[in-house]
Structure 1
Amino acid sequence: MADVRSVRDTEGFGPGAKGVKTDEVWGRVCRRLRAEVGEDVFTSWFGRLELDGIADGVAHVSVPTKFLKSWIQSHYLDRMIAILTAEVQGIRAVSIGVRTSSRNAVGRVSRPFEPSTDQASSFNERPVRFETGLAAAPTTGRAAPPRESVDPEALSGSPLDRRMNFETFLLGRSNQLAYAAAQRIATATADEPLIYNPLYIHASVGLGKTHLLQAVAHAVTASKRRVIYLTAEKFMYGFVFALKAQTALAFKERLRAIDVLVIDDVQFLQGKSIQQEFCHTLNALIDARKQIIIAADRPPSDLESLEERVRSRLAGGLCVEMGSLDEALRIKILETRIAVARGINPDFHVTPAVVAYVASVIQTNGRDLDGAVNRLMAHASLTQAPLCVETAEVAIRDLVRTREPKRVKIEDIQKLVATHYNVSRADILSSRRTANVVRPRQIAMYLSKILTLRSLPEIGRRFGGRDHTTVLHAVRKIEGLTGSDRTLSEEVELLKRMLLD
């Protein structure tokens, strides 16, 4: 066996390094690595990496698990070699090994990458030698601080609603494609190729995307495959807790050991380090041929709070939109909800005319339709009067009257204006100052100010990081021109109607 020397019983690494304390050299290596990859990545992937020694120009390092070894070899080995070569003369390669459980428990004192003065002196006084894979424990030295216990909630998925399955999902023209793709994934076998990976479903509130995702999770569980269903909030909680508890590796391994990952409401994913971990998770699962299903309230390209590489990865699979509920589907939803309500109150009856009326005046989403059925049942049971169109109008008038107008997004304004003036959205967000780009950009800023509740600084950020004074100038410019230029005024009014319809 080659003589692998401990990092603590030698003073130099190869020719020309004599007299250099190894702990100091290893500390510099770690500081450079931390500076290059960032604190969160360093803590997550390199927090348990240890340098065992040097033999014949090869630096021998070790980690506690095979997964960690594989990940570092695949993603960071070249970077480690470059840093070690720059810091230590004579290094030609890096060898990563896996420590045995007995070696972890008996032969090693857990230490941070940059030991304190007390630790360094104690190691120099009582060197630890690795000769047969096990090492004698030092008689003195500080023991590693105990880690916090792992919160089981941080490693578990979000709860599933048993009522949200494929059998209770109501089909219509607006959700047929998303349903077919989700069912194809749910019924796939282990040896089938992953055609839609990731599957990205986007829809407004109350149109059934959560129902569809949970249906997939139920079906995958029934087929004995491993699945985790997470909301974006749950993913963020789990990752942040794992970092604080120093169990980030367990969190990563838990996610990467599954067959299907389902994440809902990804538009709420916040934080640079969390987004980086999310991107690493996507890459690892896709490379391992594991299925990913994502849901959000808008397409990947409109998730401006996410990093570009995350949006690019999400857009690389199948993106399906679940559109607004058509009238036939709204009637089907109402009839289903009424049948459920009749199980609670057998005397509750709704005529087809009332169903048609409710479906025609409530066009927002399924949750408002649920609210309408609840109001109709309460009105019928409390007044003991038969339901007709007139009484239904009174019962649900708050839903109809409080229905919010269409919410206009800055992204929608940018796209429509770009299309209308035959430029690209990228042109509007760019720094180009040509006349054919400046005018559409100013009109888009003006419409963003009058049709949304966004502040001037926020609008400026959405337009390529511009200052709020630029937005204010554009708004005043278009206001002045629309008062004197009839053609421009008509164009702006047309764009407003198209955005609000």
Structure 2
Amino acid sequence: MEMGAAAHQAFQEADSPKEEPSVKVGKEEWDRVKSRLRTELGEDVFSSWFASVELEGEQNGLVILSVSTRFLKSWIQSHYGERLMALWREECEHVRRIDLYVRGAVRPKPAPTKTAAPNPAGNAAVGGMAGAAGLAGAQASENDQLGGSPLDPRLTFETFVVGQSNTLAHAAAKQVALAQPGQPVSFNPLFLHASVGLGKTHLLQAIAWEAKRSNPGAKVLYLTAERFMYSFVQALKSQSALDFKDTLRDIDILLIDDLQFLQGKSIQQEFCHTLNSLIDGARQVVVAADRPPVELESLDERVRSRLAGGLVSELQPLEKELRRSILSDRALQASRRDPNLAIPDVVLDHVAGIIRSNGRDLDGAFNRLMAHNQLTGAPITIEMAEQALKDLIRSKEPRRIRIEDIQRVVSKHYNVSRSDLLSSRRTRTIVRPRQIAMYLSKMLTPRSLPEIGRRFGGRDHTTVLHAVRKIEELSSSDTTLAQEIEMLKRIISE
């Protein structure tokens, strides 16, 4: 339904109202207009285009409506503008113009908090240990009341050690946590990804603690993907799904951890709707996963696209200087608890050099040193460290191999393009390299057969299984092919 000339002139082409009406009137008329639109268009169409339209006011024949996105504004103007104006004039003859504008991407101000009860002990500083513990307990309690996952009071920005590999992620997380009501949302969503033990969960929980400390009225919710799925299923079982959705979409900062575990079509759809609602309403979303959005093959494509539209930041493997700084920080904390503890710098240097995997292994290594020292009374030396940590020592942290890396190496080796590997062409010069690439993807990555198939032009998992079995059969009888595959493995792994 295209908008007529008169209706087109009735809409103002501004992204913000020219004047703020002093008194909001016309709510009953707007309710009747919406009711007639719902009847004419049907519930699904009405929900898609008009559910988020809000009446800001009506004054002197000017109706002010707001929408959440520019796309929604453009669609309503071009498809329903004429009918919307006609319905308003049937309800209020004096209406002469509709001002439709996009609500600015500014974080909403939280509801005012209740005044704290007087302190019977006097005006003691809240910054003391008791005050800090009380604040942390209150924040954790609120997160629990909102249905969130447990928060660890140790995971704050103060305990997060910054190095070259995580500087960007830390800076982005700090900016999100310190943003105040009324400030523009710089990047939304913020997507952090890394292998295990590199600080994703630490940063997400640090955001939760810092955001509540700097802005006590904000609604901040930290959820693991598993908790999100459980809460959604329970809401469906108890027939409280609408309350669950309303609660999530009223959050100021939503933090989702381990998104790679989000499963189920209906659950992913609900997450997508929640994500869109929060972002369009200028509410901050922060997500963490073990790989970037484009590699989360099990997620719906719309979710991946929306996640990739914000700031995507990777926490790289810990460089030696950062590993050394982490150990120094742990040693400083331990010496505060036990002034007699002595850990030579040469031992910390040695441990930082041999534990190359992640922060959790570093913590485990440090705890082992403490345990050996306290339980046996043996001094902490390099020899003691080597004995205590022998099963944790890694000569080299294995590189995470991606399917794209395999496709690139195989394409170059066989002189075919990557698009050929993903195409439906069945010539022998294409089929064999494609089968080898699928085989290597199964052998060198943790991806499932359906995931591999999707990365090779949307093929079925049975096609991938056939390719794997075919290459296994050929390489067992063809020495040349077997050597070729081993060579490709070495190139890919380097």
Distance 2:429 2:186 in 1: 42
Structure 1 residue 216 corresponds to structure 2 residue 211: no
The 1:269–1:173 alpha-carbon spacing in structure 2 relative to 1, beyond 3 Å, is same
Structure 1 residue 213, shift from structure 2 partner: 1.0
Q: Does structure 2 conserve the Cα–Cα contact (< 8 Å) formed by 1:154 and 1:241?
A: no
Choose which of 70, 80, 84 in structure 1 pairs with 2:51: 70
Shift of 1:198: 0.8
Structure having the higher Rg: 1
From 267, 271, 274, the equivalent of 2:267 is 274
Deviations, residues 379-418 of structure 1 (Å, cap 9, x unaligned): 1222222222111100111212699855645565345545
Counterpart for residue 243 of structure 1: 236
Quickly say closer, same or farther: Cα 1:387–1:226, change in 2 above 3 A. Answer: same
Whole-angstrom distance in 2 between the partners of 1:420 and 1:175:
35
Q: 1:202 aligns with which of 193, 197, 206?
A: 193
Deviations 1:156-181 (Å, cap 9, x if unpaired)? 22222222111211111110011111
Equivalent residue, structure 1, for 2:353: 360
Q: Letter of the 1:237 partner, please give it.
A: Y
Deviations 1:119-146 (A, max 9, x none): xxxxxxxxxxxxxxxxxxxxxxxxxxxx
Q: How far is the alpha carbon of 1:480 from its aligned partner?
A: 3.9
Output the aligned Cα RMSD: 4.1
Equivalent of 1:157, from 121, 127, 148?
A: 148
Residue 165 of structure 2: which of 165, 168, 174 is its match? Answer: 174
Query: Does structure 1 retain, via aligned residues, the 8 Å contact 2:438–2:467?
Result: no
| Counterpart selection for 1:433 from 420, 426, 433 | 426
Q: Which of 456, 460, 478 is matched with 1:466 structurally? A: 460
Structure 1 residue 222: Cα displacement: 1.8
Question: Structure 1: any 5+ residue segments left out of the alignment?
Answer: 1-53, 78-91, 94-151
Opposite residue 156 of structure 2, the aligned amino acid is N
Superposition deviation, residue 336 in structure 1: 1.2
SS of 1:320's partner is strand
In structure 2, what is the equivalent of residue 102 of structure 1?
A: none
CA distance in structure 1 between the partners assigned to 2:49 and 2:232 by the alignment: 17
Q: Is the Cα–Cα contact under 8 Å of residues 300 and 312 in structure 1 kept in the other structure?
A: yes
* 2:279 aligns with one of 278, 281, 286: 286
**More RCO (CA 8 Å, sep 6+):** 2
Deviation, 1:345, is: 3.7
- The residue aligned with 2:299 is 306
Task: State the distance in 2 between where 1:57 and 1:480 align.
Answer: 63
AA aligned opposite 1:353 = V
Distance 1:56 1:315 in 2: 35
Q: Within 5 A, what are the aligned runs for 1:61-460?
A: 70-71=51-52, 155-224=146-215, 225-400=218-393, 408=401, 410=403, 412-414=405-407, 416-418=409-411, 427-434=420-427, 437-452=430-445
- Aligned identity (percent) is 55
CA distance in 1, matches of 2:374, 2:38: 85
TM-score (norm 2): 0.66
Segment drifting more, 156-165 vs 277-286 = 156-165
- Give SS of 2:51's match: helix
Query: Is residue 146–residue 221 contact of structure 2 (8 Å, CA) maintained in 1?
Result: no
Count of matched residue pairs: 377
| Letter of the 1:209 counterpart | K
Q: C-alpha distance in 1, partners of 2:210/2:281?
A: 21
Q: Aligned-pair distance for 1:419?
A: 6.5
TM-superposed CA distance for 1:375, in Å, is 0.9
